[in-house]
Amino acid sequence: MSGVLGTSVKRVDGRLKVTGAARYAAEFPLADMAYGALIESTIAKGRATHIDVQAAQDAPGVLGIITHHDAPKLHSVRMFPFGPAGQTLVPLQDTVIHYAGQHLGIVIADTPERAIHAASLVRVHYREETPLTTLKDELARGTTPPELPPTFNHIFGGSGRGNLAEGLAQAEVTIDQTYSTPSNHHNPMEPAATIAVWDGDQLTLYDSTQWIFGVRNTIATMLGLPQENVRVISPFVGGGFGCKCFTWDHVVLAALAARRVGKPVKLVLSREQMYTSVGYRPETVQHVTLGATRDGLLTAIAHEGISQTSEFAEYITPVGVLTGMMYACPNLITKHRMMPVNAGTPTQMRAPGEAPGMFALESAMDELAYALDIDPVELRLRNYANADPQSGRPWSSKALAECYRVGAERFGWEKRNASPRSMRDGDELVGWGMATAAYPVYLSPAAAIAKLFANGDALVQSGTHEIGTGTYTVMTQISADALGLPLEKVRFELGDTNLPKTPVTGAARTVGSVGAAVQAAASALRSQLIQMALADTASPLYGYSEEQIAVEDGYLSLAQDPSRREAYTDILARHGLEVVEAYREVLPQDANETDRERVFSGVNALRGPVTSKFAMYSFGAHFVEVRVDPRSGRVRIARFVGAFDAGRILNPQSARSQLVGGIVFGVGMALMEETLTDPHLGRIVTANLADYHVPVQADIPEIETLFVGAPDFHANPLGTKSVGELGIVGAAAAIANAVYHATGRRIRDLPITLDKLL
């Protein structure tokens, strides 16, 4: 073996990125390119009675315009969690307006500037109706969201056990509070973009996506094409965080435009359009009730959440998805409801239910700790779950107690004065807070192919994605380790539907799912080469068994006598072969052929099958210090320490990067990020990075991440667990808890802005 797994290998695609050679969706240089610009609704509810395109048609360089008047019939596609479409609303099929920013057409011109200008000349006449604007506005008006059927609620993490009323009756101390989180937007560095190219009835899409096979299958269905007629290419994605998991309207509009004008069409969303076209984290209102005895043992937990959805789709944010497994409490209930408003359909955003849900639960746990006068870490340890309290299954692995211990020790938690407003540094109030992190281990079927060439170089291929997380690098490490080759002799290819099938790159599943397939294919190729040598009388290894063979640096050798060895290149040369290859598909534990077909046909849910033998989660503990200016209410993060149990860490550098990125997301969620909608017009008024505030370098201190725990081979053959989504879960709660400790003000409505502290 090469020994590259578990080391901080630098990014193999780093040079491509820093030199500009890494090609993103909008950067493929195609001849005779045309450009698209969207026509969007400026009202949030009503009908488009007339779309006047004459001035746009007469504008210089315009090649075509498509609206509902002349758009072809498109087929609907199922939406999350049953399919790969971003929303069920099919564009350009009628005149009904459901939200501001809804796509009403596309203008195609010979330059992007001319397309945008012509789109601005289109005049849409409306019959306007009064929109339902936001979740909180509707609740304030007395609108009651409907109860969901129990089976539907259960799909989205609704659960229960014991008798809640009895648990509350046994409680000596009760916390009963409402917490809320605003709508948030993803804001990846690369906006969504598509280039569509037709060659007869064959369609190629260069797309910025986290799921090439989902795009292929969605567009094929919408256009009535066989899946094999659509190819999706996406070698690099400039961030997604969930908004590129599914297929949105602009992709099919680019395809329609390219077919209309008979040439490639590039459509790149503006930053403003990213706020209305590719989903968002919806607003939530959560009611949490905790009951406990005086010695801190939980007797009851109730967690009910309401989240907003569009008026044409049922999208739930499952804020209680972790509540049922987090603490050893005998009586519990979680429920979810949704409120339709005139906005686009929400979508996944980094830890979609877990991040807002754990803000509420972990804030309530902190309130309970103060009510009981028990240290927040100690309270969590007293309610530590040694098995999944909801299912009764044992954990595949769990080192959460070690996360608490190591994180608290590194942070210096024992020096904390528990009283609010008791710690100062000069004029600043100092607050220390903590919270728990957890995220499920999701796995899906995946496939890969490994090839070894006569010159000793290897190529490993799988149709997964590089969304900035380091997939090229870690898959190269896995391949090199399994093949016993130096890292520089291995090349990994991804991002093309012509490659072996893989699931969506979402829910932190890529390393565990695709990595397992890559390891299986590379291991099978290695075994095939060993068997060729053992059966070859000309080989110095002839007649030995595979168990006696060591593999390193492209050589096979006898473990007990390393002088008996030969190179891979010698084996291929003697057999007259230019290439040897092996293909493997890998299913998660307890998955079956139905699960495989659901993924490989592109209609699987984002959340894949979970083994019936074990409950599989990653865990962590956040510790944070804030400084608050009592005169201005300004909150500054001074220190952040996170300790994480994420199984085997294949590349500590990239894993740390993912955890730090998640924590930065948590800082934004806690202190600044908020999508604001005009309550009368239903338009987003913070649709840019000047008004929608995200953390910048000056907002973030040095973040220390610590890895604890051990490889989890119950989860997958690599021993890995979830990393990508883990860092954000609980981070906002830790900050809110620190702000309370500093100021004595409990902010239950994110973000924590200075007006709420003054």
End-to-end Cα spacing for the chain: 60
Residue with tokens 């962590």: 620
CA atoms within 13 A of residue 41's CA, in its CB half-sphere:
34
- Is the CB of residue 515 less than 8 Å from the CB of residue 727? no
Give the bridge partners for 310, in sequence order: 341
CB-count exposure of residue 617 (10 Å: 0-12, 13-18, 19+): buried
Enzyme catalytic residues = 725
Rounded to an integer, what distance in angstroms lies between the CA atom of residue 218 and that of residue 225?
A: 10
**CA pair distance 697, 273, nearest whole angstrom:** 26
Nearest Cα to Cα of residue 187 among 572, 734, 689: 689
Cα separation, 474 vs 509, in Å, equals 13
**Where is 254: in which H helix or E strand?**
helix 249-261
Q: Look-up: residue for tokens 């954990």? A: 395
Burial 97-106 (b: 16+ CB within 10 A, else e): bbbbbbbbbb
Number of alpha helices (DSSP H) and beta strands (DSSP E) in the chain:
20, 27
Q: What whole-number distance in Å separates Cα of residue 651 and Cα of residue 671?
A: 30
Give CA 403 to chain center in angstroms. Answer: 23
Q: How far apart are CA 416 and CA 411, in angstroms?
A: 10
Q: How far is CA 40 from the centre of its chain?
A: 27
Query: Position 87: which residue type?
Result: Q
What b/e sequence results for 554-578 when a residue is b if at least 16 CB atoms lie within 10 Å of its CB, and e otherwise? bbbbeeeeeebbbebbbbbeeeeee
Residue 751 has a CB neighbour count (10 Å cut-off) of: 22
Identify whether the C-beta of residue 413 lies closer than 8 Å to the C-beta of residue 633: no
- Tell me the CB-side half-sphere exposure of residue 742, using CA atoms within 13 A: 31
Decide: residue 697, CB within 10 A, 0-12 exposed, 13-18 middle, 19+ buried: exposed
CB 642 within 8 A of CB 622: yes
Q: How far is CA 701 from the centre of its chain?
A: 24
Give CA–CA dist 313/79, Å, rounded.
8
Secondary structure of 83-130 as H, E, C letters: CCECCCCCCCCCCEECCCCCEEEEEEECCHHHHHHHHHHCEEEEEECC
Q: Do 512 and 464 form a contact (C-beta atoms < 8 A)?
A: no
Length of the chain: 758
* Residue of 335, 305, 724 lying closest to 512 (CA atoms): 724
Please say whether the beta carbons of 731 and 622 come within 8 A: yes
Residue 545 CB partners (closer than 8 Å, separation 6+): 534
Pull the structure tokens for residue 393. Answer: 């299954």
> Peptide bond before 376: cis, by omega within 30 degrees of 0?
no
Largest alpha-carbon pair distance within the chain? Answer: 85
319: nearest Cα among 346, 283, 344: 283
